[in-house]
């Protein structure tokens, strides 16, 4: 791992525990094992480090979203796709740390509050809305408001992002939620 990558990684961890404002460049440099001046060879400021973390986090989300193959989406693999994204958002160490940073800092910084909303609310709902619009057009789903359906599907997942819950029980309930959602919103294909 390069020095630049170590700076990003250690900053992510430090910001997640202490918040962005509470972590100094000196603290980051000490965690990486370099002098402050070496850190400035890679980043012009602590904000530049944070901006890189944000860019990399958004890119990670986009890569994860591409794993959902909308062309072959059906009631069975929609459940699996929802669970895959939930596990990613709650179990991936990078995303866990990133979410923690945004949760801590959203109350101090309106820009970070907006970023938190964009990444953990707006992006997932927009992605689901797009999928539902295509499924509605293909007559796979009922012709309901795709945005409202996306909110309905995503809300319980978002709710459990920030709490510790027994994985097996929670996953069973969330799977049942998606199955119920699909049952209520899929067109009856039996004729």
* Domain definitions of the chain by residue range: 1-51, 67-185
Q: How confident is the model at residue 190 (pLDDT cuts 50, 70, 90)?
A: low
Are 30 and 65 contacting, i.e. CB atoms less than 8 angstroms apart?
no
Q: Does 43 or 139 have the greater pLDDT score?
A: 43
**Mean pLDDT: which of 35-39, 74-78, 123-127, 151-155 is highest?**
151-155
Q: Does 80 or 145 have the greater pLDDT score?
A: 145
150-155: long-range contacts, CB 8 A cutoff, minimum separation 24 = 150/124, 150/125, 150/126, 151/125, 152/181, 153/82, 153/128, 153/177, 153/178, 153/181, 154/121, 154/124, 154/125, 154/128
Residue 79 CB coordination number (10 Å) = 18
- 54-65 pLDDT tens trace: 999 999 988 887
Q: Alpha-carbon distance 123 to 117, whole Å?
A: 8
Q: Alpha-carbon distance 97 to 90, whole Å?
A: 10
What average pLDDT does this structure show over 125-131? 89
CATH of 1-51, one of 2.30.110.10, 1.20.5.510, 1.10.760.10, 1.10.10.60: 1.10.10.60
Give me 155's structure tokens.
Answer: 């809300």
Least confident stretch, 18-22, 80-84, 150-154: 80-84
- 6-64 pLDDT tens trace: 999 999 999 999 999 999 999 999 999 999 888 999 999 999 999 999 999 999 988 88
Whether domain 67-185 has CATH 2.60.40: no
> What pLDDT shows up at residue 89?
84
Give me 55's structure tokens.
Answer: 């860019």
Are 61 and 119 contacting, i.e. CB atoms less than 8 angstroms apart?
yes
34-37: long-range contacts, CB 8 A cutoff, minimum separation 24 = 34/3, 34/7
Least confident stretch, 48-57, 114-123, 140-149, 165-174: 165-174
Intrachain domains 1-51 and 67-185 with the same fold: no
Q: Alpha-carbon distance 185 to 153, whole Å?
A: 11
Model confidence at 191: pLDDT above 50: no
């Amino acid at each position: 791992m390069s020095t630049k990558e170590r700076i990003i990684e250690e900053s992510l961890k430090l910001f997640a525990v202490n918040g962005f404002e509470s972590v100094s460049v000196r603290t980051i440099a000490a965690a990486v094992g370099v002098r402050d001046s070496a850190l400035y060879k890679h980043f012009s400021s602590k904000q530049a480090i944070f901006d890189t973390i944000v860019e990399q986090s958004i890119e990670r989300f986009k890569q994860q979203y591409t794993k959902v193959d909308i062309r072959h989406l059906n009631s069975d693999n929609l459940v699996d796709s929802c669970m895959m994204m939930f596990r990613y958002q709650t179990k991936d160490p990078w995303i866990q740390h990133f979410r923690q940073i945004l949760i801590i800092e959203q109350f101090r910084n309106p820009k970070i509050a907006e970023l938190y909303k964009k990444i953990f609310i707006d992006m997932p709902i927009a992605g689901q809305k797009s999928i539902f619009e295509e499924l509605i057009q293909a007559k796979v789903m009922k012709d309901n408001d795709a945005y409202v359906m996306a909110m309905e599907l995503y809300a319980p997942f978002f709710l459990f992002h920030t709490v510790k819950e027994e994985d097996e029980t929670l996953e069973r309930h969330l799977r049942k939620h998606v199955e119920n959602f699909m049952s209520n919103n899929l067109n009856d294909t039996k004729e």
